[in-house]
Structure 1
Amino acid sequence: MAGHSKWANIKHQKARMDAKKGKTFTQLSRAIIVAARNGGPDPETNFQLRTAIEKAKAASLPNENIERAIAKGAGTYDSDEGQLEAIRYEGYGPGGVAILIEALTDNRNRTAADLRSAFSKNGGNLGETGCVSWMFDQKGVVRLEGEIDEDALLEASVEGGADTYEMTDDPVGAEVFTEPTNLEPLNRTLTEQGFPVKEAEFRWIANNYVAVTDPDQARSLLKLMDTLEGLDDVQNVTANFEMANELVLQDTR
C-alpha cells in the first residue's frame, strides 16, 4: 500500500511548512450543506455530516456557521444562494500528471472558467470527463495520528473490515484503507478501540504514479495544486505524482 497517498502526504507536509489552512470557511460550510441535504441534519445518523462537522471544528469554523450550514442543507434556513451540486472535473498538470477535482458549486460556468484559468496559467489543461478518472479508485481512509501498536492496529483493521493500512512517519501514525461503503463501520471500530483517529474521509487513490524530478516542473505543479485547492468551489484535489521531499521543501522557501 506504500505510496497510495502520495499527494495527501505532500499536502500534510506543506500544511505544516507554510502554516496554511487546508480549507476556507466557504469550502467547509458547503461540505456541511451538501451532507445535511443528502443524509439529513442529524450528525448522529449522518456519517458524512458528522465528518464534515469534525473537519470544520478542527479548522475553527464558528459554531453559528456550522449550525447555519446544517439549516441550509436541511432547507430550514432562508437563503438566496443557489442550489449546490457536486461535480467532478479532470485534467492534466505539467508533465502529464493526472488531476481529479471534486467541486461543490451553484454555477457550473463560473467553476469551469476558474479551473480552466488555473490550469492554463500553471502549465496544465482542463480535460474532458473520463480523461483521467480511470487511473484512480475511490477508498475510505481513516487517518490516525500518534504512537500506534501495529499488532493491535492489524487486529482492529481486520475486525473493522479494512483492506489494508500504511504506517506513516511524518506525522507519526497510520492510514487505514477500506471500501467507501465500509468507512463508517471501520471508523467506529478504530475509535471504540482507542486509536487516535484524526479524520475519516473518502479519497481518490491513483493506480500508478508519475515521478517528478525536475525542480521547475515540481514548482509549477505544486503551484497549480495550491491554486486549485484555493478556489472556493473546489473541495478536494487528487493527483498521481510523487516527488522527493527536497522538491516539496523548495516550494516553501
Structure 2
Amino acid sequence: MAGHSKWANIQHRKGRQDAKKAKFFTKAAKDIILAAKAGGGNPDDNATLRLAIQKAKAVNLPKDRIENAIKKGTGELAGGDLAEILYEGYGPGGVAMLVEVATDNKNRTVAEIRHAFSKHGGNMAENGSVSYLFNRKGVIVFLKDKYTEDELMEVGLEAGAEDIIDDGDSFTVHTAPADFMAVQQAFADAGMEYESAEFNQVPETFIPVDATVGKKVMNLFDALDDNDDALNVYMNADLPDDLFDGED
C-alpha cells in the first residue's frame, strides 16, 4: 500500500519558505473568507471553513482576525470580494504547475503570474491542459518517529482513507475530499497527532529532474508562491533528495 510520493521534498521546502514570511497570515485569512463565502459562516455546518480555521489557528492568526475574515466571507464586513482562480502552466524541464490564487484584481494577478512564469523559464497554459495531471485529495502527514504504518492503517482505513504513502521521514495519508474530515477526526479521536492536514492537488505522476533543472524549477516555484495573491502552488517535479542540502 505504501509508496514514495515524491512530494515530501517540495512540501518541506514550501513549509520552510512560508515560515520565513508574514504572508501566511494573509493566506490563512483568505482561506477563511473563501470558505465562508462558499458555505456560510458556521464551521459546524461548513467543513471547509472548519479546516481553514484550524490552519489559521496553527499559524497563530489572532482570534479577531479569524472572526473578521468569517464576516467578510459572509458579507457582514467589506473586503470579501475575492475571486478564486486556478492558473496552469509548465516550468523548466516540462514540469506541470498549478497556482491557486484569491484576488480582488484578476488583471493584476494574471499579469504577475504570467511574468513569473516567463522570467523563470516557464509558460502559462490553457485551462485544463495541466490540471488533469493532478487529483484533489485530503492529505494528512504524520512523522515516522511517532507512529508506524500499521498503526495509521488500522485507524485510517476504517475511517475511509485511500492510501498511506511512505515519504521518507513521514507517512502521508490520502483521502477523497468527501472523506477528509471523517478521517482527520478518526485520528484525533485515537489521540494521534499529525503534522499537517489540508487539501492538496496531488500529481498522478512525477517528472524526474536533475539538480540543475530542479533549482530552476524551485526558483519559479518560489516566485509564484511569493505572489501576494497565491494561496498554493503545486507541481509534479521529482526533485533530487539532496537539492536543498546546506540550506537553512
Give the 3-state SS of the residue equivalent to 2:52 in structure 1.
Answer: helix
Say if 2:120 is the partner of 1:122.
Answer: yes
Offset from partner CA, 1:53-87 (integer Å, 9 cap, x none): 1212222222221111011112112x2x3611211
The verdict on how the C-alpha distance between 1:19 and 1:33 changes in structure 2, with shifts beyond 3 A counting, is closer
Shift of 1:195: 1.1
Tell me the residue number matched to 2:20.
Answer: 20
Shift of 1:21: 4.5
Give the 3-state SS of the residue equivalent to 1:248 in structure 2.
Answer: coil
Say if 2:236 is the partner of 1:240.
Answer: yes
Offset from partner CA, 1:194-234 (integer Å, 9 cap, x none): 1112332111111221111142x222211110111111211
Tell me the residue number matched to 1:157.
Answer: 156
Tell me the residue number matched to 1:63.
Answer: 63
Tell me the residue number matched to 1:181.
Answer: 178
Shift of 1:13: 4.2
Offset from partner CA, 1:132-153 (integer Å, 9 cap, x none): 1121111111222450133221
Paired residues of 2:9 and 2:239 also in contact (CA < 8 A): no
Q: 1:179, 1:195 → 2: CA distance?
A: 20
Say if 2:82 is the partner of 1:84.
Answer: yes
Q: 1:14, 1:101 → 2: CA distance?
A: 13
Paired residues of 2:6 and 2:167 also in contact (CA < 8 A): no
Q: 2:22, 2:146 → 1: CA distance?
A: 24
Give the 3-state SS of the residue equivalent to 2:234 in structure 1.
Answer: strand
Unaligned residue ranges in structure 2 (runs of 5+): none
Equivalent residue letter for 2:29: S
Equivalent residue letter for 2:219: K
Offset from partner CA, 1:26-62 (integer Å, 9 cap, x none): 2211111011111221223322112111212222222
- Written as runs of structure 1 = structure 2, the 5 A alignment for 1:1-253 is 2-4=3-5, 6=7, 8-13=8-13, 15-16=15-16, 19-21=19-21, 23-77=23-77, 79=78, 81=79, 83-145=81-143, 147-170=146-169, 173-215=170-212, 217-249=213-245, 252=247
Equivalent residue letter for 2:236: N
For the aligned residues, what is the CA RMSD? 2.2
Q: 2:101, 2:118 → 1: CA distance?
A: 18
Aligned length: 246
Equivalent residue letter for 1:2: G
Give the 3-state SS of the residue equivalent to 2:244 in structure 1.
Answer: helix
Give the 3-state SS of the residue equivalent to 2:88 in structure 1.
Answer: strand
Unaligned residue ranges in structure 1 (runs of 5+): none
Q: 1:4, 1:137 → 2: CA distance?
A: 13
The verdict on how the C-alpha distance between 1:73 and 1:18 changes in structure 2, with shifts beyond 3 A counting, is closer
Equivalent residue letter for 1:76: E
The verdict on how the C-alpha distance between 1:40 and 1:138 changes in structure 2, with shifts beyond 3 A counting, is same
Q: 2:35, 2:89 → 1: CA distance?
A: 26
The verdict on how the C-alpha distance between 1:14 and 1:27 changes in structure 2, with shifts beyond 3 A counting, is closer
Identity %: 41
